[in-house]
Amino acid sequence: MIRFHEVTARYPRATREALSGVSLSAAAGTLTAIVGPNGSGKSTLVRLLLRRMPRQAGRIEIASRPIETFDARDLARRVAVVPQRESAVFSLPVHEYVALGRYPHEGPWRAAMPRDVALVEQAMGDAGVADLAMRDILALSGGEWQRARIARALAQGGDALVLDEPTTFLDVGHEMAMFELFATLARSGRTVLVISHQLNLIARFAGVMVLLHEGRVAAAGPPHAVMQASTLERVYQWPLVVTRDPAVGAPTLVPLRGTRHSSGSLPLDGSEPRS
Amino acid sequence: MRATLWLGGLAILGALCVLAIALGPVPLGLREVRDGLLGVGDANAIAIVRSIRLPRLTLALIVGAALGMAGGALQGSLRNALAEPYLLGVSGGAAVGAVLAFGAGVRDASTIPIFACLGAGASVGAVLLIARAAGGRADPRVLIMAGVIMGAFANAVIMVVLANAPPNTVRGAVWWMMGSVADAGWPQIRWLSAYVLVGGALLLLMARDIDVLALGEEPAAALGLDVDRSARRIYLASSLLAAATVAAAGLIGFVGLMVPHIVRAFGVRRHRPIIAGAALVGAALLVAADLVARTAVPPAELPLGAVTALLGVPFFLLRIRKLA
């Protein structure tokens, strides 16, 4: 339902391309995850999806329609995006903040309908911020703020949800609850595209994983195919092993103690032996 | 609760309006005020009410409302609680226009505003062009920088012109820069009110966009707002609203900065009520300030801009205490 085809993009005055010839797609009913080191181009994909930067080549399609044929609000009604960074400046109660998710459905003078109110309530419940409804967004903890932002995207409705590092700042319990929510949303037929550094959780929850490296797709496919030690070591430039988690059976990355190595050979000088 | 606030605000504004007509060198009673407004009774009282105090009051109402609305809209859309209506080059440009007119020997009270307005318009245009050339996007930081640059440039021009000008040119220019509603006349009020009605309606119409814009560029884009176009429209509408007030009443600082803070202090969070409330509070504040300006040390008049600044200082001192 969201498809990038041979997309190349470069930031103004940058010396290299942020993305070069990237093709990937996120299908309806699947939790698709994009992983990769810092600066590998993950957030650039989001910026392109928001049409906040030009692309030099390639196509981006939403439901088989080129992205530039959408009116901005129409696009927001179909695809809800939670960008990586957001800082609030003015006080706003959480419920009003979440209600801004209904903005693409509003007219300039249209008051909130009972349906909007119900969707906002449900979004707050799903994201676990119902009890924070009257709190000021400036007074939230990092994790609460993150959940309020996800609630806003849920209130936006639409068939697709794109989240850029949605569980940063969340503790284990809230992080698991979020991933369970994403999985449920995907099962209900929505397109869910998550950018994350939590490789082990992604490996357990995602149907498809896309590994980006220096603006290119280094590996893509089901988690067990992407979670290969040799690929991950080359991309993350860190000694590691991939095992099978004894409790849940998912491929699990274990980084070893050691030092960062540049590309090429992988001298392991860590104190932990490789099993 | 919300309705009570509005009614209270309107009642205070109404009381201030009655006081503004009653007080002055010739104090009038409530009955004389009423008769004067209706045009019956003592001819002197009618003249004082209808030709002097009412136009002055009306001008203060409109200018205060416009500055309040422009400030509320700009603070929200620039995501900066220190933004004010003059920020994007209005004050500097208007002052340069007026000072150049004074320097060229223009003394006609109806010509100076035209120059001021032209200067403000040119300056706002230049700020938007600089910001566009710098990044092509409506980034608040770039716009604020461009506004600061234009302000510095305008200051330099004013200093150069005034340094070599004869004393009464300097005096006229400085008085103008301090702001006043003393020269209010009905024709001027008519065009200004048309202008402010249109500008204010536009800002109220775009208020929901400001709510979204206040979240920041990327979240606003994610919600389907055409960020650059919408921001440009809001900057332009607010700045031109401010420019119109400058043409009518000169530079009156602090109102546009302070009023949105007062409105938010009452728990108002969305920008439609913020802008509407800022119109109400701005009007009340400027009527009160003008009342102080002309009755504090009779028969002299204090500069209106100085009075608003004197009101602003304790207000912001209190806010700082709350922040710390």
Q: How far apart are CA B151 and CA B145, in angstroms?
A: 10
**Domain(s) of CATH 3.40.50.300: residues in chain A:** 2-227
Across the range A163-174, mean pLDDT stands at 91
| Contact across the interface for B226 and A91, Cβ inside 8 Å | no
pLDDT of res. A256: 92
pLDDT of res. B109: 67
A271, pLDDT greater than 60: no
* Cβ under 8 Å to B: A residues 75-104: 75-77, 80-83, 85-93, 96, 100-101, 103-104
Q: Is residue A191 a contact partner of residue A161, using CB atoms and an 8 Å limit?
A: yes
Tally of domains in chain B: 1
Q: How far apart are CA B308 and CA B306, in angstroms?
A: 6
C-alpha distance from A108 to closest chain B C-alpha (Å)? 6
| Contact across the interface for B222 and A72, Cβ inside 8 Å | no
Q: Of A52, A104, A109, which is closest to B224 when you measure between CB atoms?
A: A104
A270, pLDDT greater than 50: no
Q: Which residues of A touch B218 (CB under 8 A)?
A: 47, 50, 52, 83, 85-86
- What is the number of H-type helices and E-type strands within chain B? 15, 0
Residues 6+ apart with CB under 8 A from B310: none
Which of these, A232, A230, A189, lies nearest to A209 by C-alpha position? A232
Q: Which of A207-211, A249-253, B131-135, B315-319 is predicted most confidently? A: A207-211
Q: Which of A13, A75, A90 to mutate to test the interface with B (most CBs of B within 10 A)?
A: A90
Cis peptide before B113 (omega within 30 of 0): no
What's the pLDDT tens digit per position in A35-89? 999 999 999 999 999 998 889 999 999 999 999 999 999 999 999 999 998 999 9
B62-B68-B70-B75 Cα dihedral, nearest 10 degrees: 180
* Overall residue count recorded for chain B in this entry: 324
At A31 the three-state DSSP class reads: strand
| B226 → chain A, closest CA residue | A72
Domain of B82? 2-323
- Enumerate the β-bridge partners of residue A209: A33, A221
A139, pLDDT greater than 80: yes
Of the pLDDT bands very low, low, confident and very high (cuts 50, 70, 90), residue A262 is low
| Contact across the interface for B79 and A89, Cβ inside 8 Å | yes
User: How far lies B262's CA from each of A216, B66, B163, B196, B282, in Å?
Assistant: 52, 16, 39, 21, 10
pLDDT of res. A169: 85
Q: What pLDDT tens digit does each residue of chain B (324 aa) get?
A: 688 999 999 999 999 999 999 998 888 998 889 988 988 888 888 999 998 999 999 999 999 999 999 999 999 999 988 888 888 888 888 888 888 888 887 777 677 778 888 898 898 888 888 888 877 666 788 888 888 889 899 989 988 988 888 888 888 788 878 888 888 888 889 888 988 999 999 999 999 999 999 999 999 999 999 998 899 899 889 988 888 888 888 889 889 999 999 999 999 999 999 999 999 999 999 999 999 999 988 888 888 988 998 888 888 888 777 766
CATH number at residue B276: 1.10.3470.10
pLDDT of res. A226: 95
| Contact across the interface for B224 and A73, Cβ inside 8 Å | yes
Q: Could you confirm whether domain A2-227 is CATH 3.40.50.300?
A: yes
Q: How far apart are CA B172 and CA B77, in angstroms?
A: 35
pLDDT of res. A267: 47
Supply the pTM of this predicted model.
Answer: 0.90
